[in-house]
Structure 1
């Protein structure tokens, strides 16, 4: 998106937000891979770590897509933009997959 004649990613606050979003996605991916490896190796904490990775992923997807909507402003709310769908799906997955408090 371009605002005031320059891409918004050139603004420091937006760049920091995008970097943190990428970091959250990568750390969630690492948690999922590690828990899958633990299950594959039949480690005793494998199921617990898989549940924690799922819980972290649920929270991360809502946070990252909410940040995406904030970055895009009004464009983030229209149905034609994929971020709106990602946010709706992320919240739906959290609801359908069960409660975070067990």
Structure 2
């Protein structure tokens, strides 16, 4: 018996192919490390500054003092944008590799 394909059969197949294509594209993005986005090439030190309210800042630098300064600048900028308190920014973590 020969079955004639209907429009509904093709649309189901197409939907399935699109679904798998989207999943494949998304899975390729999941392997990227989040720290790599913020790290400077060759930077050994990082610092994190946070305000009492709002968003803080994480920064990398060649020296500990450079990383601390950058994180404080970022904290003040992001805290003011997020409706927080930029004058209360404090470095809560600072390390070198």
TM-score (norm 1): 0.27
Q: Which has the higher helix share?
A: 1
**Which one has the largest radius of gyration?**
2
Higher relative contact order (CA 8 A, sep 6+): 2
